[in-house]
Structure 1
């Protein structure tokens, strides 16, 4: 499998990244990648995360590949330096930056963009003391700031930033802070191998944490990092689907993320890691990688793909056959069942959301019941895919999950909400941004408010195929206006979720006609036999 697929996929994103960039040296926003700010002028501050886009450009500048029009182009070099200078110019006095609202001081945006700036500075061998002072100021802020929520990938990113900058500036001032972050990453790794991301295991962000830890281990050879990486890679191999796709709605954060660079670094001393990338490359060849080409998240995978191309290991083991087996991750509440010609990936902590593959092809993605309910004149959405502690039973040929639907998190912003948020952030919120972040996380991401609908899902193996039996009970169906099951429905706010992947081209299963005349306390029943 050719490594050039990584670079080719990444390089197709460069024209859009350059379109997002203000490339006019005489513009006051020269170097800004937030087109909504500098061009459309529809927001009142630039997103600090967007300055991460300097790294894809710096890597494209250094990627010696036929038909790469960006290789060694002086203009690219100038624009990268302008981007780093704008990151410094647009930062707060303490070095932090905002992402989605003013005075947010977002750790993720600060860490992603700092990593990109440091790497780009070194890749292009820049000599600029102003930039070095900015790096130091941002590192000081990151080293002392602790965000709400458990996002292990952010901790690993911060540790990597501090490590890289310590070497660049020849200082030990962040050694203690760096070790604190590494200790936190190790503590947040579950014995099953996965890293905590909000409410559980997300295989996609898991690969980003692997990517950061692999670079840290490459630089420091800490045996604890090696042990953590082996456990993490051994787990990740279970989430690469038979068609070469990866992750999805059964994950805690609903992402299709896949960051390949760490597997190339780990693969130098743990060859099993290379097989994960080789299977993913097969998926890319079939057009099964997800699309992340929107204005806010286009950068992450672009630079990681280019790093994977650069550090690709030439000698690779042959792909091992996929063996029939069952992997039950009791803490993550994820079950993977491979038997005969099928592979089932099911999240028991999300009401039985699943993906089923047959003969190495996706035949069904299922994100549980969804109802539109009229409540006091407004439509609300009751769904079965929110994280909860459901009642479950697991037997060799049978899986059962039961519990209540929950109300989807569908809060939208309006002029009044935005005005209130601006007033809050410009007054008290600027002094307590973490409190605002915590409140928004509770509103948009974590927790579940129970809806008055009980479900039971049973997935059973019989006669060489899977049979899925669903039951949904309501005290009254009068206010239910529509019902169905989708293949890619999610209901929490996650930046990297709700991206398009070709497996989502399956039709909505509309059950509305079946619930229109159901009497109170009755049960909607649905049975499906799933095979190729």
Structure 2
């Protein structure tokens, strides 16, 4: 499979990234990549994460591909430097930056943008004292700041940033902080190989953590890091689907993320890591890559694909067949079952959300029951896919999951809410941004408020097919307005989730016409076979 697919997919995003950039040297926001701020003027501060987009431009400048119109274009080099300088000018006095609200001081945005600026500065051989001072300032803030929540990818990003800045400035001042971050990442790695992301295992963000640790190990080889990477890569090989897609709604953060460049770096000394990218390239060729081309997240995968193209390992072993049987990740509560030309990916901690493949193609994606329920003058959404401790039994030919639905997290902002948030952040909140972040995480991401509906999901292997039997029980059906099942529903806020992927073209299964026929406590039953 041609490595050029990585570069071609990424280069196609460069015009969009350039559109997001203020390219006018006489503009006060020259180099800003937040078009909503500098052009539309519909927000009152620039997102610091947007300055990460300098890295795709720097890599496009260096990508010698016949159909790359951006190769060695001087203007691109100028815009990259302007973007780094704007990141410096837009930062807070302590070196931090915001992402979603003023004075947020977001670790993720600070780390992603610093990594991009550091790599771009080195790649294009800039020599700018102001930029170096900015790097030093932001690195110091990252070294001393600790965010709420367990996000392994952020810790790995920060460790890598501190390693790169230490090398660039030839100093050891951040060695203690760097070691602390690495130790935290390693302590958050399960014995099964995955790294904690909020409430569990997310194969998508897992690939980003692998990439950061792989780069760190390349710069500073460490036996413990190598052992960690081997476990992590072996786990990742389980989540690349037979059609070349990766991840999805059964993951803890619902993402289709896939950062391929880390597997090329690990593949230099662990050849089996390359097989993951080989299969993913088949997915690109088949049009199965998720779309990340929105204003906030377009950069991540663009630079990763360009790095995968640049550092592509030529000698590869090919795609070995994966053994049949069950892969039962008890800590992650994820089950993978491969048998008789089928592959089942099942989340036991999300009520039995699953993806099922047959003959290498997706035949079913299921995110459990979803109900619209009237409560007074409100319509609330009860769903079966929120993370919880469900009761389950796993046998060789039968899997049973049962538990209770939860209320979907559907909080929206409105003018009053935004005004309150602005007032809070401009007064008390600016001194306690982590408290605000923790409250928002609880409101939008973590935890589950139970809804008065119970379910039983049974999956049985019979006669070469999976039989899926679902039952939904209600205390009363009187206030249920609609019920259905979809293939791509998620109900927590995750930046990188809810992207479009071709597998989501499966139609919504509307079961609302069954409601009038149900007596008071009669369960709704649905049976399917694949």
Q: TM-score, normalised by structure 2?
A: 1.00
Q: 1:161-200, CA deviations, whole angstroms, 9 ceiling, x for partnerless residues?
A: 0000000000000000000000000000000000000000
CA contact (8 A) 1:342 1:359 kept: yes
Q: What is the CA distance between 1:377 and its match in structure 2? A: 1.1
Q: What is the CA distance between 1:522 and its match in structure 2? A: 1.4
Question: What's 1:345 paired with?
Answer: 345
Distance in 2 between the 1:429 and 1:75 partners? Answer: 40
Distance in 2 between the 1:249 and 1:194 partners? Answer: 17
Alignment partner of 1:387: what SS?
Answer: coil
Q: What is the CA distance between 1:319 and its match in structure 2? A: 1.2
Alignment partner of 1:516: what SS?
Answer: helix
Question: What's 2:9 paired with?
Answer: 9
Distance in 2 between the 1:516 and 1:310 partners? Answer: 60
Q: Aligned runs of 1:455-470 on 2, under 5 Å? A: 455-470=455-470
Question: What's 2:172 paired with?
Answer: 172
Distance in 2 between the 1:232 and 1:127 partners? Answer: 37
Question: What's 1:45 paired with?
Answer: 45
Distance in 1 between the 2:318 and 2:168 partners? Answer: 39
State yes or no: 1:110 paired with 2:110: yes
CA contact (8 A) 2:278 2:318 kept: no
Tell me, which stretches of 5 or more residues in structure 2 are unaligned?
Answer: none
Q: What is the CA distance between 1:445 and its match in structure 2? A: 0.1
Distance in 1 between the 2:133 and 2:2 partners? Answer: 41
Q: What is the CA distance between 1:516 and its match in structure 2? A: 2.5
Alignment partner of 1:54: what SS?
Answer: helix
Distance in 2 between the 1:12 and 1:231 partners? Answer: 34
Distance in 2 between the 1:458 and 1:400 partners? Answer: 5
Question: What's 2:263 paired with?
Answer: 263
Distance in 2 between the 1:510 and 1:10 partners? Answer: 37
Distance in 1 between the 2:522 and 2:27 partners? Answer: 65
Distance in 1 between the 2:79 and 2:37 partners? Answer: 18
Distance in 1 between the 2:79 and 2:91 partners? Answer: 18
CA contact (8 A) 1:458 1:470 kept: yes
Question: What's 2:71 paired with?
Answer: 71
Distance in 1 between the 2:294 and 2:252 partners? Answer: 22
Q: Aligned runs of 1:139-288 on 2, under 5 Å? A: 139-288=139-288
Q: What is the CA distance between 1:324 and its match in structure 2? A: 1.1
Name segments (4+ residues, structure 1) moved above 4 Å: none
State yes or no: 1:521 paired with 2:511: no
Distance in 2 between the 1:119 and 1:516 partners? Answer: 61
CA contact (8 A) 2:151 2:197 kept: yes
Q: 1:286-334, CA deviations, whole angstroms, 9 ceiling, x for partnerless residues?
A: 0001110000000000001100100000000021123212100000000
Q: Aligned runs of 1:118-137 on 2, under 5 Å? A: 118-137=118-137
Greater CA deviation, 200-209 or 512-521?
512-521
Distance in 1 between the 2:221 and 2:22 partners? Answer: 41
Alignment partner of 1:476: what SS?
Answer: coil
Question: What's 1:507 paired with?
Answer: 507
Q: What is the CA distance between 1:16 and its match in structure 2? A: 0.1
Distance in 2 between the 1:483 and 1:516 partners? Answer: 12
Alignment partner of 1:244: what SS?
Answer: coil
Distance in 2 between the 1:96 and 1:443 partners? Answer: 24
CA contact (8 A) 1:334 1:349 kept: yes
Question: What's 1:138 paired with?
Answer: 138
Alignment partner of 1:327: what SS?
Answer: strand
State yes or no: 1:100 paired with 2:97: no
Alignment partner of 1:344: what SS?
Answer: strand
CA contact (8 A) 1:70 1:76 kept: yes
Question: What's 1:384 paired with?
Answer: 384
Q: What is the CA distance between 1:67 and its match in structure 2? A: 1.4
Question: What's 2:371 paired with?
Answer: 371
Question: What's 1:308 paired with?
Answer: 308
Q: What is the CA distance between 1:517 and its match in structure 2? A: 3.1
State yes or no: 1:356 paired with 2:381: no
Alignment partner of 1:243: what SS?
Answer: coil
Question: What's 1:318 paired with?
Answer: 318
Question: What's 2:62 paired with?
Answer: 62
Alignment partner of 1:45: what SS?
Answer: coil
CA contact (8 A) 1:475 1:522 kept: no
Q: 1:355-402, CA deviations, whole angstroms, 9 ceiling, x for partnerless residues?
A: 000010000000000000000111000000000000000111000000
Q: What is the CA distance between 1:519 and its match in structure 2? A: 1.8
Q: What is the CA distance between 1:246 and its match in structure 2? A: 0.2
Tell me, which stretches of 5 or more residues in structure 1 are unaligned?
Answer: none
Distance in 1 between the 2:31 and 2:7 partners? Answer: 24
Q: What is the CA distance between 1:38 and its match in structure 2? A: 0.3
Q: 1:499-529, CA deviations, whole angstroms, 9 ceiling, x for partnerless residues?
A: 0000000000000001123122210001001
Q: TM-score, normalised by structure 1?
A: 0.99
Greater CA deviation, 318-327 or 30-39?
318-327
Q: 1:5-41, CA deviations, whole angstroms, 9 ceiling, x for partnerless residues?
A: 0000000000000000000000000000000000000
CA contact (8 A) 2:111 2:154 kept: yes
Distance in 1 between the 2:411 and 2:311 partners? Answer: 43
Distance in 1 between the 2:76 and 2:516 partners? Answer: 60
Distance in 2 between the 1:127 and 1:268 partners? Answer: 32
Question: What's 2:31 paired with?
Answer: 31
Question: What's 1:414 paired with?
Answer: 414
Alignment partner of 2:69: what SS?
Answer: coil
Distance in 1 between the 2:175 and 2:516 partners? Answer: 64
